């Protein structure tokens, strides 16, 4: 039930940088979930590539903070940036 409630909350997430959950399920003693794919390179591809520039890291952090702020505004996490 807890996973089901979490899934229902996650279905409400709306942000271009977050992969929305599409489905969850249970099989034997395991739970699984399926999410939508995002465009762009995978984390593995980024980590295997050349080192990131300072500007690229700045853009990634800005995107991450924007996503967290969006979650906070949707009431799905607490964020205090001050």
pLDDT digit string, tens, across residues 33-59: 788 777 888 889 988 999 999 999 999
pTM: 0.58
Check residue 53 and give its pLDDT. 95
Instruction: Say what percent of the chain tops pLDDT 90.
Output: 20
**Is there a contact between 11 and 23 (Cβ–Cβ < 8 Å)?**
no
Check residue 62 and give its pLDDT. 92
According to DSSP, the residues that pair with 27 across neighbouring strands are 30
Predicted confidence band at 79 (pLDDT cuts at 50, 70, 90)?
low
Predicted confidence band at 70 (pLDDT cuts at 50, 70, 90)?
confident
Tokens of residue 78, six digits: 């607490």
């Amino acid at each position: 039930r807890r996973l089901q409630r979490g899934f229902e909350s996650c279905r409400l997430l709306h942000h271009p940088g977050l992969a929305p959950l599409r489905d969850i399920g249970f099989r034997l003693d395991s739970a699984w979930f399926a999410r939508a794919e995002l465009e762009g390179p995978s984390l593995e591809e980024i980590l295997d590539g050349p080192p990131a520039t300072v500007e690229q890291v700045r853009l990634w952090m800005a995107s991450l903070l924007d996503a967290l702020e969006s979650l906070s505004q949707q009431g799905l996490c607490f964020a205090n940036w001050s």
